[in-house]
Amino acid sequence: MAVQERASAAAAVQPPVTERITVLAWLKHNLFSTWYNSLLTILVGYLLYLVLVPVFRWAVLDATVSGDSKEACDFAGACWTLVKVRFGQYVYGLYPEDQRWRVNLALAIAAVAMVPLFLERFRHRLTYAVGLVLVYPLVGYTLFYGGWLGLPVVETPRWGGLFLTLVIAGVGITASFPLGILLALGRRSEMPVIRSLCVAFIELVRGVPLVTILFMASVMLPLFLPAGVNFDKLMRALVGVALFSAAYMAEVVRGGLQAIPKGQYEAAMALGLGYWQMTGLIVLPQALRLVIPGIVNTFIGLFKDTSLVTIIGLFDLLGMAKLIVTDPRWLGLAAESYIFAAFGFWIFCYAMSRYSQHVERRLSAGERR
C-alpha cells in the first residue's frame, strides 16, 4: 500500500513548467517592478541617450571615409580617412612596403602551424607545441629580419605597428609561461638555494615598474657591457618583457600549486613517480586549469603592456597611432587614431578572453566533482 502511494505521488510530481516570457512581462519584471525602479530605469536610459547618441553620430553617421587627405573630412564627425590611408603603417609600422608580404607570410605560417593545437583529437599536442615554440622563432626571424635566401635585411627599428605588438606579445607569452612555471616550482622547492633565488627574482622584478626594466634594458645595459658588444634594442625589450611577466606568471601558478591537496602528491609518490613525472602528470595539469583566468589575465596585461616599448623608441600599434598624428598633414586627428589603436588592442584581448572561457568549459566538462 505504502509503496503504491509513494509511486503515485512520485508520478504526480512534475517538473515546474517554464513560463513563456513575453517582452512586455520581462520589461515589467526587470525594469519597472516598483516606482523607484521605474525612475532609475528612465534616468539611466536618459543618461545613455545623452552619451551614446552623440558618440554614434560622431563615429558612424557623420563620419567620413572617402578621399585620401584631411581635406576630404568636414569635421562634423570622425575622419576615418586617416585610418584608411595609413592602414598599412598601423599594421606594419615603418616596414618597407614592398617587403610587407614577408610579415603576412610569417603570420600565415604561424596561423596554419597553430591549427593542430586546437584539434582535440590530436594526442601529441604538448610535444607539438614545444616543437613549434622552438622552431617557429627561427622561421619568423628569418622572414622578418631577412639577410638570407636573398631577402633584404629589414632592421628591427623599422618593425612596428600591430606587427611589432604581436611579435613582442607572442614572444613574451611563449617565453614567460614556461619560465613562470619553473619560477613557481622553484619557489616551492625544498632546496634552499633554488628557493631563495626564485623568491629574490620574483620579488625584485615584481617590485619595479615595467618601464624601469625597459629603461634599464635599453639605456643602462649597454653601459655595463664591454665596448663593441651590442644587443639589438628589440631583443633587449623582448627579454625585459618576458622576464617581467614571468614573475607575475610565477605567482599566478603558485596560487594553483597551493590548491592541490597533499594527498595528490602522496598518491603520486606512493606509485613511484619521480619529481618531474609527478609535477608534469599530476600536479601541473590540475594546478594550471585552476588558474586559467589568472593566466589569461596576465597574458592580456602583457599584451597591453607592450605599448610601453614606445618609451624606448620602438613603435608598436599605439606608438604608430601617436606617430601618425604628429604628421602635419594629419594634425588634429588624435581621437580617431587612438580609438582605432584601442580597437586593435581590444580585438585581440577579447579573443584571448573568449578562448580561455572556451578552454575552461571544455576542461571542466568531463570532470564534475
Q: Which three cell numbers stand for residue 45?
A: 536610459
192 interacts with another protein by CB under 8 A: no
Q: Map the footprint of another protein across residues 287-306, applying CB under 8 A.
A: 289
Helix (H) or strand (E) holding 202: helix 192-206
> Any idea what DSSP says for residue 123?
T
Q: From CA 87, how far away is CA 84, in angstroms rounded?
A: 5
Q: Which lies closer to another protein via its Cβ, residue 139 or residue 273?
A: 273
Amino acid at 357: Q
List C-alpha distances in Å: 184 to 133, 196, 208: 21, 12, 19
Residue with the three cell numbers 601558478:
253
Q: Which three cell numbers stand for residue 90?
A: 598601423
282 interacts with another protein by CB under 8 A: yes
- What sign results for the dihedral spanned by CA atoms 223, 229, 233, 239? negative
Stretch touching another protein by CB under 8 A, among 198-206, 232-240, 272-280, 296-304: 272-280
Q: Which lies closer to another protein via its Cβ, residue 152 or residue 274?
A: 274
Q: How far is the CB of 299 from another protein (least distance, A)?
A: 22
Q: How far is the CB of 277 from another protein (least distance, A)?
A: 5
267 interacts with another protein by CB under 8 A: yes
Stretch touching another protein by CB under 8 A, among 20-28, 97-105, 256-264, 314-322: 256-264
Q: How far is the CB of 256 from another protein (least distance, A)?
A: 12
Q: From CA 306, how far away is CA 318, in angstroms rounded?
A: 9
Angle, CA 160 vertex, CA 242 and CA 151 arms, to 5°:
100
Q: How far is the CB of 291 from another protein (least distance, A)?
A: 14
Angle, CA 107 vertex, CA 246 and CA 131 arms, to 5°:
55
Q: Which three cell numbers stand for residue 320?
A: 604608430
Q: How far is the CB of 273 from another protein (least distance, A)?
A: 6
Q: How far is the CB of 369 from another protein (least distance, A)?
A: 4
Q: Rule CB under 8 A: choose which of 114, 281, 331, 351 binds another protein.
A: 281
Number of residues that bind another protein (CB under 8 A): 22
List C-alpha distances in Å: 24 to 35, 37, 41, 315: 17, 16, 15, 52
CB atoms inside a 10 Å sphere around CB 84: 14
125 interacts with another protein by CB under 8 A: no
Binding mask 213-252 for another protein (x = CB under 8 A): ----------------------------------------
Q: Which lies closer to another protein via its Cβ, residue 146 or residue 255?
A: 255
Q: Rule CB under 8 A: choose which of 88, 131, 178, 274 binds another protein.
A: 274
Q: Which three cell numbers stand for residue 225?
A: 657591457
Q: Rule CB under 8 A: choose which of 68, 74, 97, 266 binds another protein.
A: 266
123 interacts with another protein by CB under 8 A: no
207 interacts with another protein by CB under 8 A: no
Q: From CA 100, how far away is CA 75, in angstroms rounded?
A: 32
> Any idea what DSSP says for residue 73?
-
349 interacts with another protein by CB under 8 A: no
Q: Which lies closer to another protein via its Cβ, residue 57 or residue 289?
A: 289
Q: Which three cell numbers stand for residue 182?
A: 619553473
Q: From CA 235, how far away is CA 6, in angstroms rounded?
A: 75
Q: Rule CB under 8 A: choose which of 33, 104, 196, 277 binds another protein.
A: 277
2 interacts with another protein by CB under 8 A: no
Residue with the three cell numbers 594527498:
263
285 interacts with another protein by CB under 8 A: yes
Please report, as ranges, the residues that interact with another protein according to CB under 8 A. Answer: 261, 263-264, 266-274, 277, 281-282, 285-286, 289, 366-369
